[in-house]
Amino acid sequence: MIHINDDPEELTLTPLSDKLFQTAADGLAYEFLGGDTGSATDVVEIHVSGGYQYARRK
Amino acid sequence: MFRCLPSGPATFSQTTGGPVYKRIVQTPALIVILNDDLTYRQIFMDGRSLEPNPFPGWMGYSVGRWEGDTLVVDSYGFNDKTWLNGRGLQHSEALRMTERYTRTDVGDLRIDVTFSDPDALRKPLSMAVNMTLAADTELLERVCEESSDRWLGTTADIDHAAVTVSPDVLKRYVGVYTGFWGANPRRVDVLLAGESW
């Protein structure tokens, strides 16, 4: 599940691979970077206009 | 595969942080909106009704009328290959869009948009978009060629492509991620189903 910018709506992620997920009804895809042995370091939000990379803060 | 195809009914709501420019060409019988992503819309002002069954297209079929100083535009005849917002909200060919354009002062335009789609939306979706007159520039091209290799697909594609990922792997992704979507701060909270912060 994800929340975006404190939006109370929860979006469900469907796994397309170990690292690539997509929201079931909202079209965006998320690719996690790192995380092979520990926590992921970044996530890339994939949109028609390109990929937006966000760093993990906690 | 969602390549750089026309933006569809919601060109004003799909900005990713940068400005979106439009040029509105107005005649008594026809209003044309030229979008900087190289798409255009025709709004027929000659009193005709909406076509009962238009061929589904990228930018739809639009008729307009004046209610006082507000331009009201009804549109449908959209294909189902575009989004309603920048977050990828999908719609069906049953989509109907109503826009109310009001010039609040000489430099500002407010657009109240309502999307109705009995096949995709549980209830009508409304949003307000404010646009500012850009008096000292020309309409410049804005093309998204860098996104042509991004996979986004459709809901059916997701169902068919879904795989199973172990809970141990999923736990590695839980966290708070921050960055910028264009010029806008973005925060993505990832958590497992049934959990909360």
Q: What is the mean pLDDT of residues B96-100?
A: 95
H-helix segments, A1-58? none
What is the value of ipTM here, to two decimals?
Answer: 0.93
3-class DSSP string for B151-174: CCCCHHHHHHHCCCCCHHHHHCCC
Q: Side by side, which strands form the sheet with B96-105?
A: B22-26, B30-35, B40-44, B61-67, B70-76, B96-105, B108-116, B125-132
Contact B151 A48 (CB under 8 A): no
From CA B161, how far away is CA A5, in angstroms rounded?
A: 28
- Interface membership of A7 toward B (CB under 8 Å): no
Contact A49 B144 (CB under 8 A): yes
| Tens of pLDDT, residues B166-190 | 888 999 999 999 998 777 788 999 9
Give the model's pLDDT for residue B125.
85
- According to the per-residue pLDDT averaged within each range, which of B32-36, B65-69, B155-159, B165-169 is highest? B65-69
| Tens of pLDDT, residues B21-50 | 899 999 999 999 998 888 899 999 999 998
How high is the mean pLDDT of chain B?
Answer: 83
Contact A16 B158 (CB under 8 A): yes
Q: Which of residues 32-51 of A touch B (CB under 8 A)?
A: 32, 35, 38-40, 42-43, 45-51
What's the pTM? 0.62
Radius of gyration for the alpha carbons in chain B, expressed in angstroms and rounded: 19
| Tens of pLDDT, residues B76-94 | 999 988 878 766 677 889 9
Closest B-chain CA to A16:
B162
DSSP state of A11: B
Q: What is the mean pLDDT of residues B119-136?
A: 86
